[in-house]
Amino acid sequence: MQNLYELIKESLHFNKFTLNDLVCVEYTCPLTEENASIFAQSDYIIHVLSGKKTWKTIHGLWPLKAGDTLYVKKGAARITQYFEESFCMLGFFLPDTLIRESLADPLKMTPVIRNIQIDKFTAAELKQSKYLDGFFQSMLTYFRGKEQPPDSIISFKINELLLNIVSDSSNAELISYFKSLTKSTKPSIHSIMEQNFFYNLSLEEFAKLSHRSLSAFKREFRIHYGSNPGKWLLTKRLHYSANLLMQDQLNITQIAFESGFENASHFSRAFKQEFGKSPIEYRKSIS
């Protein structure tokens, strides 16, 4: 699976600024497939300048067009691309430490909104406003310049962006998520796993999403789940696929992909071992 954060941070082909783990970029989409899966170990904001694209996570689907802005939580997503027009965007990859440092004080007096389920937050569209529009226009001026602006300006501009977001009460879900970030030092392994198990991510990539070494990830996973991550992932994906088989719109190959398996053959073998029936037999038995 393509690591979008590292692809952009390490490439020489994008118009970007970096400050430690913060990456700000203006680019025309580097992905060529109509459907692709990506992940990033940091949260990121997408502001679309031209074209269309759809982001899909376990908890939502966000079709984006020019002028739209989406905040995406660290993790994986499935992307659908449309090639009628070049897709160009501004992207801001935000490390957790920066969010905590910028928002710890502003959010101290913000009450927790009880009816918002933070454990199901994966992305949120930001409403257009004159403040956000002004921010993106000002960043375009820097991107179109010949040199990277001083680090102090980049830091100031990102603080401006985050403060504008939390000052808008319509971003209640995102504000509650930010508040939860200020109270933790690392992402929740439970949240990372429950929101990303059905992507074909390696254990090393899950550890990266969790901001832990592979050994620390495996150790804390076993403490939380009482199982090793490989076994847990296989069982979780198989039971997820069983639910998908109850729907008629997806064929077996699509279900294998949607459930995080590398190919349909591996999926079918593992499914029969778990349920005693092939995926096709299972579907017929419940129809």
How do the pLDDT tens digits run along the chain, 287 residues long?
899 999 999 887 788 999 999 999 998 766 677 888 999 999 999 999 999 999 999 999 999 999 999 999 999 999 998 888 889 999 999 999 999 999 999 888 776 666 667 788 999 999 999 999 999 999 999 998 888 899 999 999 999 999 999 999 899 999 999 999 988 889 999 999 999 999 999 999 999 999 999 999 999 999 999 999 999 999 999 999 999 999 878 999 999 999 999 899 999 999 999 999 999 999 999 87
At residue 109, what is the residue type?
A: M
Same domain, 6 and 119: yes
**Alpha carbons within 13 A on the beta-carbon side of 207:** 14
DSSP per-residue letters across 175-231:
HHHHHHHHT-SS--HHHHHHHHTTS---HHHHHHHTTS-HHHHHHHHHHHHSS-HHH
Same domain, 99 and 41: yes
Q: What is the pTM assigned to this prediction?
A: 0.92
Instruction: Provide the pLDDT for residue 118.
Output: 79
Pick the closest to residue 240 from 260, 262, 268, 270 (CA basis): 260
The residue segments making up the domain with residue 240 are 189-286
Domain boundary among 149, 182, 215: 182
- 90: domain CATH number? 2.60.120.810
At residue 256, what is the residue type?
A: A
Instruction: Provide the pLDDT for residue 31.
Output: 64
Q: Record the tokens describing residue 77, joined without a space.
A: 């997503």
The dihedral built from the CA positions of residue 209, 211, 214 and 216, taken in this order, carries a sign that is negative
| φ and ψ at residue 107, rounded to 5 degrees | -95, 0
Same domain, 248 and 176: no
Instruction: Provide the pLDDT for residue 115.
Output: 64
Pick the closest to residue 57 from 43, 41, 73 (CA basis): 73
- 210: domain CATH number? 1.10.10.60
Same domain, 141 and 223: no
Same domain, 23 and 124: yes
Same domain, 172 and 250: no
Same domain, 177 and 106: yes
Same domain, 79 and 152: yes
Domain boundary among 157, 182, 207: 182
Same domain, 132 and 195: no
Domain boundary among 165, 182, 199: 182
Q: Are 75 and 196 in contact (CB under 8 A)?
A: yes
Q: How many Cβ atoms are within 10 Å of 263's Cβ, its own excluded?
A: 11
Same domain, 40 and 173: yes
Pick the closest to residue 196 from 260, 270, 118 (CA basis): 260
Q: Which residues, including other chains, have CB under 8 Å from residue 134's CB and lie 6 or more apart?
A: none
Looking at the 3D structure of the chain, how many domains does it have?
2
Same domain, 176 and 63: yes
Same domain, 214 and 158: no
How far is the C-alpha of 63 from the C-alpha of 80, rounded, in Å? 9
